[in-house]
Every structure is written in C-alpha cells, then in structure tokens.
Structure 1
C-alpha cells in the first residue's frame, strides 16, 4: 500500500495529513475552513484517495497560510507515498466541467517542480468561502514544490469563483488518480529515476 502521513507545524499553521493512493478511499477532513474542507473532499472523492486532513491556521489573519500549508503537506505526502516511482503511469490529463466552467489539468510526476498557472489571466469574479483563485495558486504551488511534479492548469471557460475553484480541484483529482496508477514495470523515465 502506497501511503504516507505527514505533520507540518509553523508559527501560523498546524497540519496533519494522511494520503493513501491504493485504497480504501474516504477519510475525515477538518481544516477549520469549510470551503477548503469541501475542496479537499472533492480531491478525495474524484481522486479516489484515502485523504485525512486535520489542520488549524491563523484564519483571523487570512486564509492564505492555511491553504498554502495544506498544499505543502499534500505535496510532502504525495512524494513519500509515490516512493521511487516504479510502475507509475506518470503523465495524466483531465478535464472537469461545472456548469459554465471548464478546467483542464495536465501533470507529470517528473520529480521536477513546475507550476504553469496564471490566475491573473482568469476572469474570475469574487471568492467562495473566503477562498479565491489566487489562494488556489498558493495551494498548487505548495503541492507542486513539495510533491515535485509539473502541473499545468487552464481555465477554458467560467467566471464564478466557486465553480472555477471546485472544477480546478476536480480536474486535479482526476489527473492525480490517473498519473499515480501503477500501469507498468520499472521507472517511467529514460534516466532511470524520477
């Protein structure tokens, strides 16, 4: 079973996160920020992962620290759970629609962190539960840098913040599910390592 539990504590946040890639799925999520909980449950459900998250942050200051640090913890757990990458599918893409919104996520579990995401180019209006598409960038940056993956996220249509952020999490979940599957033998790289 590919699984990892990480704990991260700073002066601003505390996060304990458990990720299982091979089932069973489900798990309790409680960050103290209901919209972030809702997004993590989307990741859990559509990624078909075991994802348990308990977190607290300085929400009286802003949601930024908590959202970012949960992304960092998820990246740390993903990297640990993937191990040496033997048998991984490695590459994946997924579209996710939500009403007027359509998002594309393409990723590579390459060992090379890179995030291609430009929220300033997205014509999104408002926020949802205190979270907006700029906070999404901080979550993804933490995930990418600590999970050591390349991730491209594109908004193909949509403007409403809740739909845009939720479709983004769903597309990410579906792409992660595909990329983390074991479909072969050996490390999927001509270098022999990821």
Structure 2
C-alpha cells in the first residue's frame, strides 16, 4: 500500500495528515473551516485517495496559516506515498463540470512544482472561507507534492461551483496520475530514469 503520514507542528498550526493512494476515497477531515473541509472531502472522494486530516490552526488570527500548512502537509504526504514514482501514469487531466461551471485541470507529477491559475471569484468569502486562499492552497499543495498543476475555469458564475469544480478536477486528474500503469509497473515514467 502506498501510504504516508505527515505531522507538522509550528507555532501557528498543529497538523496530522494520512493518505492512502490506493484507497477508496474514505475521508475524515477537520480543519476548523467548514467550507475547506467540504472541498477536501471532494478531493478524497473523487480521487479515491483515502485522506485523514486533523488541523488545529490559529484561526483567531485568520485562516491563512491553517489553509497553507494543511496544503503543505497533504502535498508532502502524497509525495512520500509516491516514493520513487515507479509505475505511475504520471499525467492526469480532467474537465470538471458543475452546473454552469466548467473547469479544466491538468497535472504532471514531474518533481518540478508549478501552478498556472486562471480562476477568479466574485465573492470575498464562501461560507467562512476567504476565496483568495484557494489559489494559495493549490500553489502550496503543488509545491509540496512536486506537481506541475494547471487550473482554468473555462466558464462559471456561482462561486461555490467554481471552487468545487477546481477541487473535483484536481481529484480526478490526480486519480489518473497516481494510478499504476500495468504496462509499465516496474518503470519510472521518465527518459531520465528519475522524477
């Protein structure tokens, strides 16, 4: 089983994350930010990656440290669970529709982290979550996981739908990319011989 547990304790947050890349999409999420929990539940359910997240952050200040550090811990756990990346498909992409919204997500588990973000929100908050933190979450996750990640909302009006389609798109693209390719299960998917 490709699993990993990451703990991260700072003066701002105390986090424990466990992932199972070969799971069924089971989740137990508690970050103290309801809408954020909902998005991470979507990530687990649609990627089929089991995800346990327990975050205690300095929410009396704001949500920034909680969201950022949770992204880092999840990204680190995914990277650790991937090991040397032998046998993975490496690439994944998804068109993620949600009612009037359509988001395109493409990623490469390349070891070269990057985020291209073409998504905007017209509200400052969704539930109690600051919408400016969504880009920061995806950026921090991509950096920690070593993933090149492109997210573009092709069209959409409802801010909830826009956020959710981005997380579901990431989930579906990640599911493809981390899967073992039975035709190359013993090979690292790079002509360099490493990722």
TM-score by length of 1: 0.94
Q: Is the 8 A contact 1:124 1:158 kept in 2?
A: no
For 1:15, the equivalent position in structure 2 comes to 15
What whole-Å deviation, never above 9, does each CA across 1:22-51 have from its counterpart, x for those lacking one? 124313111111111111100010011110
Distance 1:56 1:118 in 2: 30
Cα 1:118/1:96, change in 2 over 3 Å: closer
For 2:163, the equivalent position in structure 1 comes to 165
Q: Is the 8 A contact 1:18 1:51 kept in 2?
A: yes
Which 4+ stretches in 1 moved above 4 angstroms?
Answer: none
Distance 1:17 1:133 in 2: 23
Q: RMSD across aligned C-alpha pairs, in angstroms?
A: 1.3
TM-score by length of 2: 0.94
Distance 2:129 2:156 in 1: 16
Cα 1:132/1:99, change in 2 over 3 Å: farther
Q: How does 1:63-102 map to 2 (within 5 A)?
A: 63-102=63-102
Distance 2:121 2:136 in 1: 18
Unmatched runs of 5 consecutive residues or more in structure 1: none
How far residue 20 of structure 1 moved from its aligned partner, in angstroms, is 0.3
Q: Is the 8 A contact 1:127 1:161 kept in 2?
A: no
- Identify which of 154, 157, 160 aligns with 1:156: 154
Q: How does 1:52-71 map to 2 (within 5 A)?
A: 52-71=52-71
Cα 1:102/1:24, change in 2 over 3 Å: closer
For 2:137, the equivalent position in structure 1 comes to 139
3-state SS of paired residue (2:104): strand
